[in-house]
Structure 1
Amino acid sequence: MTQARIGVLFFKRLWKLFGILFGNFTSRSALIFYSLTILSLLMQFVIYAAGLIPSKYFEVLGSKDYPGFQQLAIYSILVIVLNAVMKSSLNYVSRVLYLTWRKMLCSRLHDQYFSRINYYKLNVVNDNLDNIDQRITRDVDQFTKEWSLLMSRLVVIPFTIGYYSYQCFASTTWLGPVTIYVYFVVGTIINRLIMAPIVRLNVEQEVCEGDFRFQHLKVRVNSESIAFYQAGKTEHVKSEKRLNLLLKTLMSLYNWSFWLNSSVNIFDYVGGILSYLVIAVPIFGGDYDHLAPEEISSLISRNSFVCIYLIHSFSQLIDMSSTIGDIAAHTHRLGQLLEGFDVNTDERKEEFSDDGHKNESYSNVHQMLFDEPNTSKSRAALEKKVLDSIDGSSEAEFDNGSHTYFHLSNVTFSAPKQARNLVEHLTLTLKAGKNVLITGATGSGKTSLLRVLAGIWPSHSGSVKKFCDFGPKGVMYLPQKPMLTDGTLQDQIIYPRLDPYPEYSSDNDRDRMIGIVEEVGLTTLLENNGGFEGNFELNWADKLSPGEAQRLMFARLFYHYPDLAVMDEPTSALSKFTEKKMFELCIERKITYVTVAHSPNLKEHHDVELHLSGQGQWSVTAIQSTRF
């Protein structure tokens, strides 16, 4: 909150955002901005022509010039029509610029948000920023919309101030421009003092809006659990608390906005009569005594327009004070988000040594394996070469006939920002055909180990060698909380793909999915949703029971058909019979699996138990095979 003000940091962040919005000199947004600038400048000539029309009417009506009146009537109608068309065109181009800017900024944020698992780091690991979703949606929308509206005024204000200052000087000598300039400076200072707390309150308002919206999102997602707990009153109190905090912030914002708006309106209305006060000096001084009454009337009208428009140009800058307050809030929030991406990028660079080689904490040699000309022989040779280079590992330690998926050597890790190590000096090899069960007390680091395997948590020391990639013939993770996306039943099964695998024909892929759904016992779900492509659902989590959700995750696993499945409590909501069947299906498909579980019943489905005892201790034990 201390940074939510207009200062050096604001302009630094604004410059960075403008770099994204404008791209290069030939980008689409730049070309639209050029068109907006040209239209805005042409609009000023039309406004100037329209502004002088009243003075011309004073002159022709005062002198009873009927032919001149007819010509002026036609001319004024044409100018008015042109003025209306130009205003509509300017408004249209501003909206197109807004859409273009929103697309560019959102797309850039999406690129960075969904790369290098920033969506996980910013929301879970480095939780320094609030409401990331609101920043990408609402803040981007408001920021681009406000700037697209401001640009048409900002680009012409220097031109109009310079031109109308000259015209004002020609009519009133130095007195007119100096009076207006002093008037503007005083107004700017007063509004700047009032605006300082408004910027801070705008940022606080955005935070409170996000928290209030998130509270209701939490109720919607967990409505059934809240109903079982009979916790409606508790959630009601929490919702009211967030609402009251939001309204209190808005009330403070409106209180300060009252004084800012009062100041802006006073300067606007005083500006309306300032032109007459300025022109009164030369008139009462006798400078225009030689002119006829109709000429004096025309002069007053013309001078009033020039002075009023000069004041209007300055007033536009003053009027922008309240808008700048909103823009500053959005600028700071978006700037903080970009800086959060930069921090994660810097952390990513730290994974590499000074000579550009990747450090040994985590590496993926999958691409190296599959780049070799003779896949099977060269893969085994490269695996042996990599493994033998780690801590002097010998060939006897590893089964040459079995493909290795992961090798962990002396790995020590803890939860982010936590000093206590969860596991210390872990050495483990995960290879084909050896199903590993990870057990331990709550908080001993079981799920954390899966995060280290996935590369979303770093290890403090040691090395994690990965010999597989995500997907078919690779590795697939099933997190503890089933990930249910929006869409059809087919979208659930093929997730995280957007389309079915191209190597299967449409009919074969459909038959394969039907067989998988029948195997996991979800035929009723298929029938009730009108097939794989029927009933587009936004919230499958509310539609499915926990057991159905876990069986659907196994259907997804079997569809992707990986070599290795890494699963976290995958059968906690299943019966023992269904649990046994799911592991049997994995064995039938020759899918090796690593399972985190509390239940001792799962031992019969595994070959090795890795037990994490807490305080960094661990042990590996062979399980006597009794399965099936």
Structure 2
Amino acid sequence: MIAYYLALSFVKALVRFTGGFFALKGRLCLSKYLHSNYISKEKFYSICTENEIDNPDQRISQDVERFMECVRKLLESLVIDPFLIAYYTYSTAAINGGNLIGPLVIYTYFLVSCFFCKLAVTPLIPLIFEREAKEGYFRYVHVRIRQFSESISFLNGEHFERLKADGMLDSLLGVQKKVLEKGIAIKFFTEFFNFFGAIVSYLIIAIPIFTGVFDNKSKAELSQIISLNSFTSMYLIYKFTVITDLTDVVGDLAGYTSRLGQFIEVLEKVQQDKDRFSIIVENDAIADTEYFNNHFKGPNSNCIILEKVSVKSPDGEFKFLIRNLNLKLNPGENLLITGSNGSGKSLLLKMLAKFDKYQKYDDTGSTIFIPSFPKVMFVPQIVYLPEFSSINEILGYGCMGNDSGFFSCDVNCVGYREFGISDVLDCLEKVKLTHIIKRIKISGEPLSILSEKFEVATLSPGEKQRLLIARIMLWKPVWAIIDEGLSNIDEDGCKTLFKYLEELKISLIVVEHQDANFFLDNSSLNFKNLVISNDNN
């Protein structure tokens, strides 16, 4: 008996371990699959900006984990239970003299209970979907409060943010309340069928007795048969009720499956749109091979060429912001793009960056030739530095893997380009950021300056912009496209940075809202001026 209990305990522990390992491995595979399809060139930007689905970050970080946890619970129950159900079905029939009435009654009882539980769980699925969406929005509000805490404090917006967070919480709990209300039906049916199972077991015992199956048995034998019959039928019913009790898990699983399925559908749709666009570009490239060889090979391989480029507004009106723009820039030439708000300056840069979402707005048969990363590097309007990163990771950020189809670069296994400590320190000195080294907790080795993590949040906006310029200086691209990336740096600082960029022979395309005189008066850089006006319409 002790050996039996030891074996049973070992099997159950093994099943639990196997289930947990399966959930862990499943989360790893599913999350990496979503990562590879979501965090990819152009695709995730399109998903985040078009708002086809809510909270893609939550679907990967939370929904996948809960989905696999639901699968684990179901599998752990279904691994052993089918064998136990088969064994006790046979035992119940054998005790009743081979009569299958008892097992058939139990199976019918189980099917009826499943039917009612399905009726109860169906209206719960969309509510679970909505609940998880509200959870994502509520979390996002708190992430933004943490991210923009300084700005909120300056703007005296704590009261507004508190009211907004309270409103999100009320909305979330309102849906949670509906889930609880709908869950009452599930709980009622599962508990009812659990209790009613005892009555069914007595019915199963009574059927063979009153039909005369055991008339030839003595009282002692009949008592033994009733005891065995009661045990096997009760246990068989119990195993079925355990499965019925998983209705809550099935409801949650259906909700998470719906959310992840929708996410995958959107990813596939974006990929199809991207493939369709790539085919068009490839066909155009084949047709323009002669033009390409004449204009974009040899000494012109690093040129930027725009012919008949028109940019439409993405706001739904699709009016032309830029019409029939023709431009050719050779390495060594610098361009200043100016214009009023909403004139299409940043939209033009997004087309140059090959964002599919914005390329599709240009349906006029235009031609855009521009070198790929890292020959062309951008300094975006909204400064971004990877959080919890080292100096080397920040300065080497953006390097593409060998399978990306982009220009090959020195890339290590963690996906960023490494630079020598002397180059990094020299560059930081030029952009006047050597003081940030003091903020890094050095672990002993001099090289740890490059590998130790530090808080990006401690940097001022101007320091962040200087760090992005330092990144440009280390990479030494042919072109640096700066979208108001120097707005937090004073004029003297800008002149110094431009001087170093000129020494490195990095050509500039600068977008500015403000007075262009500062750039145009800088005779050493000799900026051309492209003025984008709403009058272009």
Same fold? TM cut 0.5: yes
Aligned match of 1:385 = 294
Q: What is the TM-score normalised by the length of structure 2? A: 0.87
Kindly state the Cα deviation for residue 117 of structure 1 after the two structures are TM-superposed. 2.3
CA shift in 2, pair 1:415/1:157, >3 Å = farther
Aligned to 2:372: 469
Mapped pair 1:410 → 2:308: yes
- Give secondary structure in 1 for the equivalent of 2:521: helix
Cross-structure match for 1:518 = 429
Which amino acid in 1 is paired with 2:56? Answer: I
Give the equivalent residue in structure 1 for 2:495.
580
Per-residue CA deviation, residues 207-262 of structure 1 (Å, 9 max, x unaligned), is 01000000000100000000000000000000000001111111111122122112
Q: Structure 1 residues 248, 359: CA separation in 2 closer, same or farther (over 3 Å shift)?
A: same
| 1:182 Cα offset (Å) | 2.9
Residue 481 of structure 1 and its aligned partner are, at CA, apart by: 1.2
Aligned 1:207-606 pairs, distance under 5 A? 207-284=133-210, 286-353=212-279, 358-360=282-284, 385-386=294-295, 404-416=302-314, 418=316, 419-456=318-355, 457-458=358-359, 459-471=362-374, 474-486=375-387, 487-497=389-399, 501=410, 509-530=420-441, 532-533=449-450, 536-537=453-454, 539-540=455-456, 542-599=457-514, 600=516, 601-605=518-522, 606=526
The one-letter amino acid of 1:244's match is D
Give the SS at the match of 1:423: strand
**Structure 2 residue aligned with 1:608, among 512, 528, 536?**
528
Residue by residue over 1:166-200, the C-alpha shift from the partner in whole angstroms, topping out at 9 and shown as x without a partner, is 44334443432332233223222221221122111
- 1:281 offset after TM fit, Å? 3.0
Task: Rate the CA distance shift 1:249–1:316 in 2: closer, same or farther, 3 A.
Answer: same
- Partner letter of residue 98 of structure 1? A
- Tell me if the contact between 1:444 and 1:615 (Cα under 8 Å) persists in the aligned partners: no
- Give the distance between the partners of 1:357 and 1:564, measured in 2 at CA: 23
Shift of 1:525: 1.3
Counterpart of 2:405 in structure 1 is none
Distance in 1 between residues matched to 2:339 and 2:324, nearest whole Å? 17
Provide closer, same or farther for how the CA distance between residues 417 and 104 of structure 1 changes in structure 2, counting only shifts above 3 A.
farther
Distance in 1, matches of 2:79 and 2:411, equals: 52
Contact 2:205/2:226, CA 8 A, preserved across alignment: yes
Q: Alignment identity in percent?
A: 30
Q: Give the conservation status (yes or no) of the 8 Å contact 2:309–2:323.
A: yes
Matches of 2:509 and 2:220 in 1, distance apart?
Answer: 96
Q: What residue identity is the alignment partner of 1:533? A: L
| 3-state SS, counterpart of residue 185 of structure 1 | helix
Structure 2: which amino acid aligns with 1:272?
A
Compare 514-523 and 308-317 and name the one that shifted more.
308-317
CA distance in 2, matches of 1:90, 1:475: 54
Letter in 1 for 2:472: L
Determine which of 49, 68, 75 is the counterpart of 1:151.
75
Q: Is the 8 A contact 1:404 1:429 kept in 2?
A: no
Question: Are 1:489 and 1:529, in contact at CA under 8 Å, matched by a contact in 2?
Answer: no
Change (3 A) 1:156 1:417: farther
Deviations 1:540-599 (A, max 9, x none): 1x2111111111111111111111101100110111100111111111110001011112
Residue 64 of structure 2 aligns with an amino acid whose one-letter code is V
In the alignment, the residues of structure 2 paired with residue 154 and residue 422 of structure 1 have an alpha-carbon distance, to the nearest angstrom, of 61
Shift of 1:330: 0.7
Instruction: Give matches, 1:82-93, under 5 Å.
Output: 82-93=7-18
Name whichever of 280-289 and 195-204 sits farther off.
280-289
Aligned CA distance change for structure 1 residues 514 and 498 (closer, same or farther; 3 Å): farther
CA separation in 1, counterparts of 2:335 and 2:21? 57
| Structure of larger gyration radius | 1
Q: 2:42 maps to what in 1?
A: 117
* Contact 1:415–1:422, Cα closer than 8 Å, also in 2: yes
Are residues 403 and 349 of structure 1, via their aligned partners in 2, closer, same or farther at CA, if it must alter by over 3 Å? closer
* CA shift digits 1:61-117 (9 cap, x unpaired): xxxxxxxxxxxxxxx222111111110011111111111111111111111112342
Distance 1:530 1:287, change over 3 A: closer
Letter in 1 for 2:178: S
Distance 1:322 1:554 in 2: 54
Give 1:292 deviation, angstroms.
4.5
User: How far 1:427 moved relative to its partner?
Assistant: 1.5
The root-mean-square deviation of aligned C-alpha atoms, in Å, is 2.8
Q: For residue 620 of structure 1, what is the aligned residue in structure 2?
A: none
Q: Provide the secondary structure at the position in 2 that maps to 1:573.
A: coil
Contact 1:423 1:615 in 2 (8 A): no
Residue of structure 1 in register with 2:404 after alignment: none
Residue 65 of structure 2 is aligned to residue 141 of structure 1: yes
**Structure 1-normalised TM-score?**
0.75
> Aligned in 2, Cα 1:522/1:382: closer, same or farther, shift over 3 Å?
farther
Q: Classify the secondary structure of the residue corresponding to 2:150.
A: helix
Q: Secondary structure at 2:509's aligned position in 1? A: strand
Distance 2:489 2:363 in 1: 36
Amino acid at match of 1:496: G
Q: Report the CA distance between 1:163 and its aligned residue.
A: 4.9
1:7 paired residue number:
none
Letter in 1 for 2:229: N
1:92 corresponds to which letter in structure 2? F
Q: Secondary structure at the match of 1:477?
A: strand
Q: Could you tell me how far 1:275 is from its partner in structure 2? A: 1.4
